[in-house]
Structure 1
Amino acid sequence: MLNREHLLTYIYLLVYILLSSGVILYNKWVLSTKYFNFPYPITLTMIHMGFSGVVAFFLIRVFKVVSPIKMTFQIYATCVIPISAFFASSLWFGNTAYLYISVAFIQMLKSLMPVATFLTAVVCGTDKLRCDVFLNMVLVSVGVVISSYGEIHFNVLGTGYQVMGMFGEALRLVLTQVLLQKKGLTLNPITSLYYIAPCSFVFLFIPWYFLEKPVMEVSQIQFNFWIFFSNALCALALNFSIFLVIGRTGAVTIRVAGVLKDWILIALSTVLFPESVITGLNIIGYAIALCGVVMYNYLKVRDARASQLLIENLPERVELKTLKASDLYDPNDNVHNISGGRNV
């Protein structure tokens, strides 16, 4: 029989799955020219960042839910600005991919995120090239290639945007480890939004001004306040729900929930967007890639347990080892988390 604590945990997981799937499908619906017809991904991302920044400001400065960290100009210039730049680029490219490829195929491509994170960490010297992890990365890559080959509506531009978005996110994670964590700074979801969202908004404003603003002036798009308000609210709620689930269950549980969410999302996308067609080769390739992701998660859990046992057997004066960037990312999740620590 389920007790209250277990029931609450399952409710949190359900809310996370619903919000994560809902945000992705909502973004696709808004951006698609066949439905809401607002094909401006930079504008949509700016709305998310602006809304999140305003909410975080009120929560910290007005309602004082949490206290801001001690932020100097040097830390802001050397840490927050570069992290915000890559975060803005990852959201920009990731949302742009919705214009060209289906939600189902995007979720399949997201299986490459551990590969992007691992390769970026190795190149930047924050992780070591290991044979077991490398073989998993090869397996994931082979699966994605097979899935891409089986994609009926394969689009090079859309695939390129999605891949660039993943590498932008990978660079953000590496920078988070190198710049923030080594300075001993930990940002929760609210403080992350408070510092990073406004800066990301500024970075997005530059390409928006040259790429989307001229087109919007002549297209005469009607702005529906409630559509964009509810969309931004869902994105904000997703970030907070992930933090709650991580705090209650841990990163491993949310990774498992993420796998379930991906399958549900792929199925829902084919129902809500009839133009999305899934082939047998898509499923086979994604299943292969998923096997690599599951093995990757297993290795991360095994390494974490080994590190924990080592720490417990060492004197208290030994400092904890800094997390790798690959530990900070959930390969099955959306890209809206911006916290310095691992809460997505």
Structure 2
Amino acid sequence: MGRGGAISEGVLKKIFLSYTYVAIWIFLSFTVIVYNKYILDRKMYNWPYPISLTMIHMGFCSSLAYLLVRVFKLVDPVSMSWDLYFKSVVPIGLLYAVSLWLSNSAYIYLSVSFIQMLKALMPVAVYSIGILFKKEQFKTNVMANMVSISIGVAIAAYGEAKFDTWGVILQLGAVAFEATRLVMIQILLNSKGITLNPITSLYYVAPCCLVFLSVPWMFVEYPLLKESSSFHLDFFIFGTNSFCAFALNLAVFLLVGKTSALTMNVAGVVKDWLLIAFSWSVIKDAVTSVNLLGYGLAFLGVCYYNHAKLMAMKAKEAEEAQKKAAQVDEEAGRLLEEREGSDAFAAKKADTQD
């Protein structure tokens, strides 16, 4: 009974920790999104400079990542040549910079709830770009699922009370660049056996983003900031905002490392619904029944996509386990044959000596 109680206590502790990791990630993701909206929206803090905000984030994250990797040595850097860095990391940094720039820009024009609905197109973008780069195989049933997600998002867009064409273009561009970045990570890094956790990812990628963002910043936002009193930053607002962005990366590392990517996807769905509810109830953004109908359809499509991915992953793991078991059996059979042969030889040698 005591032993059973100890096992139950261990299971409960594991469940409690998993829910804690999920809650931390949802809270930080929720906070970063709402905080960015607060800073960029003209009706709130009214600091509509998305490139500058993204650069502040990247500068802050680069500095902290450097301290964690090089000074405190809490995370080991990846062995990487300069040639590999420029051919693999730099292109990913460019895609990440543009994705963040566009996604933060969308907060100026669109509501938080509608942006979350548009983000439901991410699986569609990743799958389509994966096919383009030959990382995914075209399958009719998967494409039908992608079409259902797209139709759901289109219905949500049709029902949007404050539809802004430029804002939608910015958010769709952000989704496209982020999806391309995810596919390129598989092609340029994972295929070469290089895996970056959120800390090492920021260590290598954030400085690239900062450099790439500085080019449009010089021509687009610097002249405006130079003429505006907004050039004088509120260090508390931007410091806490940047810290939340960095903490979110740590939470991703904690959540995926201690649970799984699937848990993060499920938590993401919960977070999206919470953001939609928050946007409607607190920020007072208009959310129509057509919005919810469309997003509900897209939501079902995304859930089916994640389920199919999970089933495929389990099938692959089972296949690999069977292959490993077959190899073990084959090796055991070979060793048994060698042993029987050795025993037969020893017996024959003993008979000859007699």
TM-score after normalising by structure 1 = 0.90
Partner of 1:234: 244
Distance 1:281 1:266 in 2: 14
Counterpart of 2:109 (choices 90, 100, 107) is: 100
The CA deviation at 1:315 is 4.1
Q: Kindly report the root-mean-square deviation, in angstroms, between the aligned alpha carbons of the 2 structures.
A: 1.4
SS in 1 for 2:186: helix
Partner of 2:334: none
Partner of 1:198: 207
Distance 1:317 1:94 in 2: 49
SS in 1 for 2:77: coil
Q: 5+ residue gaps in structure 1?
A: 319-344
Distance 1:94 1:186 in 2: 25
User: 1:41-190 to 2 correspondence within 5 Å?
Assistant: 41-190=50-199
CA contact (8 A) 2:98 2:177 kept: yes
Counterpart of 2:320 (choices 303, 306, 311) is: 311
2:281 pairs with 1:271: yes
What is the one-letter code of the residue matched to 1:252?
Answer: L
User: 1:201-212 to 2 correspondence within 5 Å?
Assistant: 201-212=210-221
Residue by residue over 1:67-97, the C-alpha shift from the partner in whole angstroms, topping out at 9 and shown as x without a partner, is 2111111101100100000010100000000
The CA deviation at 1:271 is 2.7
Distance 1:317 1:141 in 2: 43
CA contact (8 A) 2:122 2:175 kept: yes
Identity %: 45
CA contact (8 A) 2:198 2:252 kept: no
SS in 2 for 1:314: helix
Residue by residue over 1:140-163, the C-alpha shift from the partner in whole angstroms, topping out at 9 and shown as x without a partner, is 000000000000100010000000
What number of residue pairs does the alignment pair up? 317
TM-score after normalising by structure 2 = 0.87
Could you say which structure has the larger radius of gyration? 2
Residue by residue over 1:279-323, the C-alpha shift from the partner in whole angstroms, topping out at 9 and shown as x without a partner, is 0000000000001001100110011011101111124899xxxxx
What is the one-letter code of the residue matched to 2:251?
Answer: S
CA contact (8 A) 2:57 2:245 kept: yes
Partner of 1:286: 295
Runs of 4+ in 1 over 3 A off after TM superposition: 315-318
Distance 2:168 2:24 in 1: 29
Residue by residue over 1:315-335, the C-alpha shift from the partner in whole angstroms, topping out at 9 and shown as x without a partner, is 4899xxxxxxxxxxxxxxxxx
Distance 2:17 2:25 in 1: 12
CA contact (8 A) 2:65 2:199 kept: yes
Partner of 2:261: 251
Distance 1:236 1:178 in 2: 26
SS in 1 for 2:313: helix
Distance 2:310 2:273 in 1: 22
What is the one-letter code of the residue matched to 1:228?
Answer: F
Of Structure 1 and Structure 2, the greater helix share is in 2
Partner of 1:217: 226
